[in-house]
């Protein structure tokens, strides 16, 4: 159904005999219109959809998914095309601005992101205060929330909700989050393995800098990650850049609706992503494989799954009923790297 097409349905209340006109726009009924339907006592009708199985809360042109056909598009571009020919920062520009950047636009965007690749110095005190075995996603969520305290001039609680009304202000935080998120993630990893935290190198590419901060040792004067690894991470970043109104996206929209600041809200999105029914599913698969241990143990594990003693992770997708278009791209990457 096109976004301009408008039709309606006319349900009849079997109790009162009254008919109602409910408009259908963009394939959806406005849930508040259900309030027109009342029972004999005057109580309104409400929709009940606790799992958001058939509920939308916004209309977006950012991405498109057809789960039955295995289609994923960002701003109209097939994910296969973007993964093959665009960098993560190009895709980030596309998602934010609606168009792929030209050479000058990409250079400017990249420079502004990389200028923000270092996080606030005081954040490192939080990082080093964590236990060595703290889960990195718990660390990441906490650190994003802590960032809120470093930028009170951008907090609606201090300066009012209109602070984010201008593109200039919004872009400031886009550059900051895109720039320093890899540095924060890498610092969490280095802390967990007991190694010194590497400051970012603006001269490196976005993914190269991330890998440098993760893996470089003091003796690695000319550290250079393998091009295949760089390409693999680049594509993985592209594949995970956007996925409609998923759990974490819904979470941050819910939190910002109260006019909470962007960093505290982002911490909520990270927390949502942490769960094994969302982004944490990847970790759950790895733990499952560790638990299985060897090929010889697979038959017993499958039997336990059928007997509902174990859970099989990583098979099937809530959205994609045919195939996940990202899976074929990841398989190709795995063959190239391993």
pLDDT, tens digit, for every residue of 99-138? 999 999 999 999 999 999 999 999 999 999 999 999 999 9
245 with 289, same domain: the answer is no
264 with 291, same domain: the answer is no
Output the pLDDT for position 314: 81
Instruction: Check pLDDT > 50 for residue 2.
Output: no
64 three-class SS: strand
Q: Domain span at residue 48?
A: 1-56
What b/e readout covers 222-246, taking b as 16+ CB neighbours within 10 angstroms?
eeebeeeebebbbbbbbbebbbebb
CA nearest to 195, candidates 222, 211, 220, 214:
214
pTM: 0.89
For the chain, how many structural domains are there in total?
A: 3
Give me the residue label for tokens 């174990």. Answer: 310
Report the distance separating Cα 16 and Cα 39, nearest Å.
Answer: 7
Whether 67 is in a domain gets the answer no
User: Tens digit of pLDDT for each residue in 243-275?
Assistant: 988 899 999 999 999 999 999 999 999 999 999
What are the helix and strand counts (H, E) for the chain? 14, 6
Classify burial at 129, counting beta carbons within 10 Å of its beta carbon; exposed 0-12, middle 13-18, buried 19 or more: exposed
Residue with the bigger pLDDT between 315 and 283: it is: 283
Percent of the chain with pLDDT over 90: 69
H or E element that contains 71 = strand 71-74
Tokens coding 147: 């960032």
Report the distance separating Cα 201 and Cα 210, nearest Å.
Answer: 9
Whether 134 is in a domain gets the answer yes
289 with 186, same domain: the answer is no
User: Tens digit of pLDDT for each residue in 21-47?
Assistant: 889 888 888 888 988 888 888 888 888
60 contact partners, CB below 8 Å, separation of at least 6: 244, 245
319 with 269, same domain: the answer is no
159 with 81, same domain: the answer is yes
Mean pLDDT taken over the chain: 91
Classify burial at 268, counting beta carbons within 10 Å of its beta carbon; exposed 0-12, middle 13-18, buried 19 or more: buried
263 with 140, same domain: the answer is yes
Output the pLDDT for position 5: 54
CA nearest to 151, candidates 187, 115, 176, 182:
176
Confidence of residue 6 (pLDDT cuts 50, 70, 90): low
In the chain, the largest separation of any two C-alpha atoms, in whole Å, equals 81
**CATH number for 129:** 1.10.580.10
3-state secondary structure 97-148: HCCCCCHHHHHHHHHHHHHCCCCCCCHHHHHHHCCCCCCHHHHHHHHHHHHH
Mean pLDDT of 297-306: 96
Confidence of residue 164 (pLDDT cuts 50, 70, 90): very high
Output the pLDDT for position 171: 96
């Amino acid at each position: 159904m096109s976004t301009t097409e408008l039709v309606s349905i006319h349900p009849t209340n079997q109790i009162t005999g009254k008919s109602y006109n409910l408009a259908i726009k963009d394939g959806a009924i406005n849930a508040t219109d259900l309030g027109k339907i009342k029972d004999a006592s005057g109580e309104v009708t409400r929709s009940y959809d606790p799992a958001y199985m058939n509920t939308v809360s916004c209309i977006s042109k950012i991405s498109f998914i057809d789960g039955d056909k295995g289609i994923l598009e960002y701003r109209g571009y097939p994910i296969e095309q973007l993964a093959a020919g665009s960098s993560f920062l190009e895709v980030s520009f596309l998602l934010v601005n609606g168009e792929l950047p030209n050479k000058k636009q990409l250079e400017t965007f990249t420079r502004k992101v990389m200028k923000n690749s270092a996080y606030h110095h005081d954040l490192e005190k939080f990082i080093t205060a964590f236990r060595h075995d703290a889960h990195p996603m718990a660390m990441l969520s906490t650190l994003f929330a802590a960032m809120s305290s470093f930028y009170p001039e951008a907090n609606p609680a201090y300066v009012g909700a209109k602070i984010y009304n201008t593109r200039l202000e919004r872009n400031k935080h886009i550059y900051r989050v895109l720039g320093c998120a890899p540095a924060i993630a890498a610092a969490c990893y280095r802390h967990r393995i007991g190694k010194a935290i590497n400051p970012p190198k603006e001269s490196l590419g976005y993914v190269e800098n991330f890998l440098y901060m993760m893996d470089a040792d003091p003796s690695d004067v000319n550290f250079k990650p393998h091009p295949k690894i760089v390409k693999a991470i680049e594509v993985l970043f592209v594949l995970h850049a956007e996925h409609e109104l998923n759990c974490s996206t819904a979470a941050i929209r819910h939190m910002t609706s109260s006019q909470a600041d962007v960093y505290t809200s982002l911490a909520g999105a990270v927390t949502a992503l942490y769960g094994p029914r969302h982004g944490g599913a990847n970790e759950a698969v790895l733990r499952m494989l560790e638990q299985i241990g060897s090929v010889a143990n697979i038959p017993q594990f499958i039997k336990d799954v059928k007997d509902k003693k174990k859970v099989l992770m990583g098979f099937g997708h809530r959205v994609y009923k045919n195939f996940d278009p990202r899976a074929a791209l990841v398989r190709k990457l795995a063959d190239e790297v391993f």
